Amino acid sequence: MKPEPKLVRGTPLDEKALKRGKTFSVTYEPRLRYGWDTGQAISRYLAELKEGRLIARSCRKCERVMIPPRMFCERCFRPTDEWVYVKDTGKIFTFSLCYVSWDVRRLKQPEIPAVIEIDGASPGMGILHVVKKIAPGKVRIGMAVRAVWRPKAKRIGSVTDIAYWQPIKN
């Protein structure tokens, strides 16, 4: 049988001991800087968003057009082949009516996060975004929507360069 580890008694510290300076402490404000590399595919994707365009990558072998683009096809296990512009229209692939804001406040009017299947990309290929300008009860899977872009001067190379998606009226 293994011997029990020997317990060493410590000195309990309470709030007072800490405040009275009975312990050694250090105050340090770190000046942290960081860089973020989006990689080859997403760099181009973001640069194109700034220009008001959606771009995908195609794989010749499985004939898929993938958005967001990727440089490697995870199905064929080989590099993808070409850049392909796709439309800024699509269909609601799935959605949610969200009555809680990002900072956990209750909302009277729900936000409508949705995956938009992009026209020109392969079935099931889409981006997560938000749908507006429609009554929550009227949103349906398969509904045709179009991107509403921010003004060019306000775009920063982000998926938020599309302000939201709205239904295409027939």
Q: Contact residues for Zn ion (CB under 5 A)?
A: 59, 61-62, 73, 75-76
Residue showing tokens 């992009």:
118
* Nearest distance, CB of residue 43 and Zn ion, angstroms: 21
Could you tell me if 136 and 116 are in contact, meaning their C-beta atoms sit under 8 angstroms apart? no
Q: How far is the CB of 77 from Zn ion (least distance, A)?
A: 8
Residue 141 · residue 94 · CB < 8 Å: yes
**Nearest C-alpha neighbor of 80 from the set 41, 49, 37, 39:** 41
Q: Which is nearest to 111 in space by CA: 102, 98, 95?
A: 98
Least distance between Zn ion and beta carbon 61 (Å): 5
The residues that bridge with 131 in the sheet, in sequence order, are 112, 165
Minimal distance in Å, beta carbon 55 to Zn ion? 17
Q: What are phi and psi of 136, to 5 degrees?
A: -50, -40
User: Quick one: 63 or 103, whose CB is closer to Zn ion?
Assistant: 63
